[in-house]
Each structure stands twice: as C-alpha cells, then as structure tokens.
Structure 1
Amino acid sequence: MAADGESHTGISFSGEDIRLDGAVYRACVFRDCRMLYQGGPLPVLEGCQFIDCGWNFDGAAANTLMMLGALNQGGLAPLVEATLAAIRNGGVLAQPAEGPARTPGARVIDLGFGRFPVPRLRRQPRASVTDKHEGEA
C-alpha cells in the first residue's frame, strides 16, 4: 500500500490500495486501485489518471460525509445542495483547517461561506422482518 506522506512521480499503480492523506502524486496512472482518504492532510494529485478506481473515505472524511448525509435526511437538503454548489465553485475554505473546530455546546456548523444551525437528528430503528413476525407462530 502506498503510504501517507510519500511522493511519487510518473508511476503506474495497478490493483493497489493507495492512501491519499498527505501524499504527493504527479503524472501517475492508477488502474483498478482502491483510493483511500481518511481526512488527514490533503494530497497533491497533479496530472494523474484514474482508471476504474474505487474511492473510499474513512475516519474524519467518512464522518464528514455521514454528517452531510444526516443533514440531507434531516430535512436540510437545500443546505447540502448549497454546500456542494460552493464546492463546485471553489467557495469552500481556501485552505484546509489546521485542526478540528472546538466549540463545546455549539449547535452551528461553519461551512466557510456561512454558519448554519445543526438540528439534532435521531434515526428511528427499522423493524426487521423477524421483528414483524415474532408474535406469529
């Protein structure tokens, strides 16, 4: 597995697990690779080709995606769409944050282009097929 913080130029990777956090890849070719980003230092990906690669997010990166999913499912789809539009337009955070935001008890999220309230979201457990038929015999 290509490791964090490594620098690669002009290399072809095939069928490998590639860790992106803090790594530098220039003019590389990735074929059938599993790209992994865990929310650490941003990678440099310049002039690379990605052919049939899978993209995986873990750790802080996965938490961010889960948060966006929860906001979307919690009735804040317009906020998620505005966030994605800002990403597409380059309007979210000119540079990465140095560390996690720490505002104990705060119920807002700062997306770099505005602060928004964050509702408490609770997911209702889904009844399984066996739960529905437990009383039946």
Structure 2
Amino acid sequence: MTNYKDETLSGRVTLDGGVFDNCDFLDVQMMYSGGTPPQFLNCRFNEATFTFDGPANDTLLFLRSMAARTTGMRPVVESLIPELSN
C-alpha cells in the first residue's frame, strides 16, 4: 500500500492500493487495474481522467454491456451502486 499525504500529483498515477490524503490531482491520468481500491481523503481533482486496465477494464466493459437499455439488465446494474441514485 502506498500512502500519499499533502502532495500534488500529476502525470500518470497508479491508484491500486493507494491512500491519498489531502492531495491535489493536477492534469493527471489516474490508472486503476482492479487491485485493492484506493482511498481518497479530502482530495481535489483538476483535469483528472481515469484509465482502467486489466481486470478493472474487463469489469467496466461487462457492466457497460449489461447497462444497455436493450438488455433489460439496467436496473440490476443501477442497483449495484445505489449511491449514484438520488
């Protein structure tokens, strides 16, 4: 596990297993590969993009294919992340 505290991060940053405390993400490509989910505490994001690789990308592609309105599975996908529904 990598810990970052009070840092400004830019460029490509690997998120797997990271703990980011009071960090600024500035013009950053955030890479997640499906390992231990990162933790973000009081962070700020400016010009940040996400890239998913390996198993994380496969999972994202699977969820996107299930979420297509023609599948009838959209409510199932939405129920997986209830925090997004308001």
Q: Assess if the C-alpha contact under 8 Å between 2:14 and 2:31 holds in 1.
A: yes
Name whichever structure is richer in helix by fraction.
2
Structure with greater Cα Rg: 1
Deviations 1:10-63 (CA, angstroms, capped at 9, x unpaired): 10113x111000011000000100001111111111111110111111111100
2:33 equivalent among 35, 38, 45: 38
**Long gaps (5+) in structure 2:** none
TM-score (norm 2): 0.83
Letter in 2 for 1:52: E
TM-fit CA distance, 1:86 = 3.9
**Long gaps (5+) in structure 1:** 91-137
Name whichever structure is richer in strand by fraction.
2
Aligned length: 84
TM-score (norm 1): 0.54
Q: Assess if the C-alpha contact under 8 Å between 2:7 and 2:24 holds in 1.
A: yes
The residue aligned with 1:84 is: 78
Q: Once the two structures are aligned, what percentage of the paired residues are identical?
A: 27
